[in-house]
Amino acid sequence: MGEQQNDDGIVLTEAQKRARRSRSLAIAFALAALVVLFYVMTLVKGPAILIRPI
Amino acid sequence: MSLVSAGADLRGPLASSRSAEPSLATVGDYIALMKPRVMSLVVFTALVGLAVAPGSLHPVTAFTALLCIAVGAGASGALNMWYDADIDAVMTRTARRPVPMGRIRPGEALAFGLTLGSFSVVVLGLLVNWVASTLLAFTIFFYVVIYTIWLKRSTPQNIVIGGGAGAFPPMIGWAAVTGSLSLEPVLLFLIIFFWTPPHFWALALYRTEDYARAGIPMLPVVSGDASTRRQILLYTLILVPLGIAPWMFGYTGALYGITAVLTGAIMLTLGWQVLRENRPAERASRNLFAFSILYLFLLFAVLLVERGWGGLITRLAA
C-alpha cells in the first residue's frame, strides 16, 4: 500500500519521495549546524577546550 | 531485526504491519513529536536559571547550553510519545499525535528520542560542563523512566513526583553557568514542582473521562472530584509562599515580590473557587489551568527582568 512493488523493488510515490527529501534536508541542515557549532565553540573556548575543570 | 522495526512490533495494533512501507512522515511530524510547547516552557525556565546565576557565560556557550536543554526536552517528548502511543490513541487530547496517527512508527520515535537525548547530553558536557550535562541526563531519565514508564500508569501521585522532571531546567541553566547548585535554583525547582499538581489536576478535572478511558490513574479518576479539588487547594497553599520565597530570602526585589503576592492571591482565589464549585468541574478548573500558566510565566519573567544578567534589563530601563 502506498507504493508499487514489482521486480525492480519498492517504488516510492511522489508523496513519499517528498517526505523523504524533506527529512534528508532537515538532517543535513542539523548536521551542518552541529559542525558550525563545534567550530565556533572551539574558537570561543580556545585551544584548551577539553582541559578544564569538570 | 533492528531496533527501529522492533519498536513497531512491540506496539502490536499500532504497527499495522507497515514495517516495509516507506515513511510519509514530514519534518513537521518530527517536530510535533518533540512537544514544542513543552520545549518552549523548558527553554524559558532554563534561560531564567542561566540568567540569574552568578557569574557569566559567553553568549555562544549560553546559546549552546539552551540548545542542548531544548533538544533534551524534545528527546524526552519523543520518548514519551513512543511509550504512550497506546494510550495516546485512546485519548481525545492526544489522538492526533504523530505516532497514534500512524505517521511515525513507534520504533522510529524511539530511535529519534534516544539519538537526540544522547547527543544533547554529550554535547552539553563537552561544550559547557558535565554538571549541567549530568542534570540533563537525569532529567531525561526521570521523565521517561520514572514518570512515563513507571509512575504514570501506576499511581495517582504520578504527576506529583513525575512533575519533578519539569522543575529541573532552571537548575540545569544555573549549573551551566556556575558548575554547581545552591539554594536559589533549588527554590526555583520547588516553585515548579509544587506548581505542577494544581496545574495538571485542574486539567484532569475536566478531562476525567479521557484519562479514565485510557486507564491512567489520574487523581480525579481514582479518588474522585472532591478529593482532587481539596488537594489542588492544598498544593496551591504550599505553592504561593514558595513563589514569594525568593523575595523573602532577598534574591529578588520589590517588583518580583509584588508580582508573586498578587498572582499568588489570584491562584489561591481560583483554587478556592475550584473547591467550592458545585457542579461538575468546568469553568473554575479551566480558569485555574489557564491562569496557572500565566502565573508561572509571570514569576519567571519578572525574575528575569529584575535579576537576569546582573539586573541588566533593569539597569538599561533606568
Q: In the beta sheet, which residues pair with residue A11?
A: A4
Does residue A19 belong to the interface with chain B, where contact is any CB pair within 8 Å?
yes
Q: How far is CA A13 from CA A1, A10, B103, in A?
A: 10, 10, 15
Nearest-CA distance B260 → chain A (Å): 36
Number of DSSP helices (H) and strands (E) in chain A, helices first: 1, 2
B22/A20 Cβ within 8 A: yes
Residue B275 neighbours by CB under 8 Å, 6+ apart: B229, B230, B232, B233
The alpha carbon of B315 is separated from its chain's Cα centroid by a whole number of angstroms, namely 31
CB proximity list for B18: less than 8 A, separation 6 or greater:
A1, B8, B102, B105
Q: Which chain B positions have a beta carbon within 8 Å of A45's beta carbon?
A: 61, 127
Query: Residue A27's closest CA among B207, B27, B20?
Result: B27
Cα A33 from Cα B110, distance rounded (Å): 23
Per-residue pLDDT of chain B (318 residues; tens, 9 = 90+): 333 333 333 443 444 444 567 888 999 999 999 999 999 999 999 999 999 999 888 999 999 999 999 999 999 999 999 999 999 988 888 889 999 999 999 999 999 999 999 999 999 999 999 999 999 999 999 999 999 999 999 988 888 998 899 999 999 999 999 999 999 999 999 999 999 999 999 988 888 888 888 888 888 888 888 899 999 999 999 999 999 999 999 989 899 999 999 999 999 999 999 998 866 657 888 999 999 999 999 999 999 998 877 666 666 666
Phi-psi region of A15 (alpha: psi -120 to 50; beta: other; left: phi over 0): alpha
Nearest one of B166, B227, B229 to B194, comparing CA atoms: B166
Closest chain B residue to A11, measured at CA: B22
Instruction: State the complex-level ipTM.
Output: 0.79
In the structure grid, which three cell numbers stand for residue B216, read together?
491512567
Closest Cα in chain A to B20: A10
Neighboring chain A residues of B17 at a CB cutoff of 8 Å:
none
